[in-house]
Amino acid sequence: MSSVFDQIISKEIPADIIYETEICLAFRDINPKAPEHILIIPKKPITKLSEAKPEDLQLLGQLMLAVGEVARILHVDEEGFRVIINNGRNAGQTVFHLHLHLLAGRRFDWPGL
The contact pattern for ligand AMP, residues 42-81, with x = CB under 6 A and - = no contact, is ----------------------------------------
* Interface pick for ligand AMP out of 9, 15, 63, 98 (rule CB under 6 A): 15
Cα–Cα distance between 45 and 40 in angstroms, integer?
13
* Closer of 58 and 91 to ligand AMP (Cβ): 91
Q: Would you count residue 87 as binding ligand AMP (CB under 6 A)?
A: no
Q: Which residues pair with 109 in a beta bridge?
A: none
H or E stretch at 102? strand 100-104
Residues 6+ apart with CB under 8 A from 67: 40, 83, 100, 102
What's the rounded Cα separation, in Å, for the pair 42 and 29?
15
- Selecting among 37, 75, 97, 99, the annotated active-site residue is 99
CA Rg, the chain, in Å? 14
Query: Looking at 2, 20, 21, 30, which residue binds ligand AMP (CB under 6 A)?
Result: 30
Which residues are near ligand AMP by CB under 6 A? Answer: 4, 15, 29-31, 39, 86, 92-95
Catalytic residues: 99
